[in-house]
Structure 1
Amino acid sequence: MCRNIKPLHNFAPEATAQEVHDAALQYVRKVSGMNAPSKANAEAFERAVAEIAHATDHLLADLVTTAPPKDR
Structure 2
Amino acid sequence: MCRNIKTLFNFEPPATGDEVEAASLQFVRKLSGFQAPSKANEAAFQLAVLEVTAAAQKLLDSLVTNAEPRDRDIELERARIRNAKRFGSA
TM-score range, shorter chain: over 0.9
Partner of 1:66: 66
1:54 equivalent in alignment to 2:35: no
Task: For 1:55 and 1:29, locate their aligned partners in 2 and report how far apart those are by CA, in whole Å.
Answer: 16
Task: For 1:12 and 1:46, locate their aligned partners in 2 and report how far apart those are by CA, in whole Å.
Answer: 29
Task: For 2:16 and 2:37, locate their aligned partners in 1 and report how far apart those are by CA, in whole Å.
Answer: 25
For this pair of structures, how many residues does the alignment match? 72
Matches within 5 A, 1:1-72: 2-72=2-72
Q: Which has the higher contact order (CA 8 A, sep 6+)?
A: 1
> Which letter maps to 1:8?
L
Alignment gaps of 5+ in structure 2: 73-90
Alignment gaps of 5+ in structure 1: none
Task: For 1:27 and 1:61, locate their aligned partners in 2 and report how far apart those are by CA, in whole Å.
Answer: 19
Superposition deviation, residue 39 in structure 1: 0.4
Aligned-residue sequence identity (percent) comes to: 60
The structure number with the bigger radius of gyration is: 2
Superposition deviation, residue 42 in structure 1: 0.3
Task: For 1:20 and 1:70, locate their aligned partners in 2 and report how far apart those are by CA, in whole Å.
Answer: 17
After TM superposition, which residue ranges in structure 1, 4 or more long, deviate above 6 angstroms? none
Task: For 2:68 and 2:62, locate their aligned partners in 1 and report how far apart those are by CA, in whole Å.
Answer: 16
Q: TM-score, normalised by structure 2?
A: 0.78
Task: For 1:12 and 1:49, locate their aligned partners in 2 and report how far apart those are by CA, in whole Å.
Answer: 25
